Amino acid sequence: MRIVHIITRSDNVGGAQVHVRDLSVTAREQGHEVTVLTGGVGPFTEDLSEHGVPWISIPRLGRPIRPIDDWLAFQQIRAALRRLEPAVTSTHSSKAGLLGRVAAWSLGDTAIFTAHGWAFHPSLPSYRALTYRYLETLGAKFAERIITVSEFDRQLALRSGVAPAHKLVMVHNGIPDVPPALRAAADAMVPHLIMVARFEDPKDHRTLFQALAGLRHMPWELDLIGDGPLLGEAESHAAALGISDRVRFWGSRKDVAERLAKSDAFLLLSDREGFPLSVLEAMRAGLPVIASAVGGIPEAVADGVTGFLVPPRDPETLRDRVERLLADPALRGRIGAAGRKRYEQEFTLSHSFSKTLQVYQDAVESGGSSHARGGFPARLKNRSRPAE
């Protein structure tokens, strides 16, 4: 099968980029042809090259809404798809998702959209949520299938009327395994806590710092991996709370698995999420997880079994859960082992890839029928492309 992935950003390597890379690498290993289209060049295109994945830069593709650039990006995407002739065009992220779906549909290609967390999340201001919901409802008409990475997002799309049930398919993210040497022991005398997240909305380092400031009587150290526009503000806040001597800001790193293996507990505080890969990476390493009970996180973390779920923006509850893990190495080991077992059973890359590939195959077989049901005329298959 010839597959084209389209994603907006190449200037960072976040969860959606890692997802696209891992799917691409696995597909190529199984004999499929894969090309990634992405906006500009940057760390993501470097990462693709390191893994042997072909990519094409779409220079005009970017996050801000700029009508002229967006129109030119659409034309560039359409020209690339016309040349590549994929069996499936798999789109990711809001801007690339909309432009890519329309471009694929206009050429008679089969288009898929993967929602890595909806942009119309209820936590957003109502006017923004309504705008994003309208755009996603429009975009849904140009896709044969929409993959949600959590049941939370699938149900949100159904309640919001974004797409009919027959188009929405839930496939949890999965990640490749690591060797035993990269699994955590979680028994250090001075426990190492770790959070892997960019310093930008919706991540919530502030609540984490407030919780830890009340635990200065206990031994702990915190490693923070990630960069972003709010990094300086976070450094200042840690200093103001008197915990900067225990907090290390590592910036963006390529050795995340090694850092996790040297840690004792993982934290992810956030106002909203899709189905974060960082939580799966922590479970893969055998770390207990403390995370905000938002989005699809409760579908990965079993509260009290593989970690603890806490309400967003609640430093008191977070402090209590962290204190429990700091005080009990046996508890850390037991919860971490349960998380590792759950990863092996449900969240490996092979699980995720096989389910995703089945969605692609079902979409190709269904042809244009879903477009007819969605209010658009069914596309003509196996005919010459429209003239440019």
> Of 3.10.20.740, 3.20.20.70, 3.40.50.2000, 3.30.2000.10, which CATH number belongs to 2-175+349-373?
3.40.50.2000
Cβ atoms 243, 216 nearer than 8 A: yes
Q: Which residues contact 22 (CB under 8 A, 6 or more apart)?
A: 174, 175, 176, 349, 353
Give the mean pLDDT of the chain: 92
> How much is the pLDDT for 2?
97
Distance, in Å, from the CA atom of 103 to the CA atom of 19, rounded to the nearest integer, reads 22
Residue 388 clears pLDDT 70, i.e. is over it: no
Distance, in Å, from the CA atom of 354 to the CA atom of 364, rounded to the nearest integer, reads 16
Q: What is the pLDDT of residues 151-197, one digit of tens each?
A: 999 999 999 999 999 999 999 999 999 999 999 986 677 899 999 99
Token readout for 334 is 């037991």
What CATH architecture is 180-346?
Answer: 3-Layer(aba) Sandwich (3.40)
Residue 381 clears pLDDT 70, i.e. is over it: no
Share of the chain above pLDDT 90, in %: 85
CB count in 10 Å sphere of residue 136: 22
> How much is the pLDDT for 123?
66
pLDDT band of 319, cuts 50, 70, 90: very high
Radius of gyration of the chain (CA): 21
> How much is the pLDDT for 332?
96
Q: What is the pLDDT of residues 14-36, one digit of tens each?
A: 889 999 999 999 999 999 999 99
| Cα dihedral sign, 333-249-202-233 | positive
Distance, in Å, from the CA atom of 315 to the CA atom of 318, rounded to the nearest integer, reads 5
pLDDT band of 128, cuts 50, 70, 90: confident
- Tell me the domain boundaries of the chain: 2-175+349-373, 180-346
Element housing 145 (H / E):
strand 145-148
Distance, in Å, from the CA atom of 75 to the CA atom of 48, rounded to the nearest integer, reads 23
> How much is the pLDDT for 207?
98
Of the candidate ranges 11-20, 102-111, 212-221, the one whose mean pLDDT is the lowest: 11-20
- Does this chain's domain 2-175+349-373 share its CATH topology with 180-346? yes
From 76, 21, 78, 69, select the one nearest 49 (Cα to Cα).
Answer: 21
* pTM attached to this predicted model: 0.88
Q: Which residues contact 220 (CB under 8 A, 6 or more apart)?
A: 190, 191, 192, 193, 212, 246, 322, 326
Rounded to the nearest 5 degrees, what angle is found at the Cα of 222, between the Cα atoms of 216 and 227? 135
> How much is the pLDDT for 125?
67
Q: Provide the CA 320 distance to its chain's centre, in angstroms.
A: 28
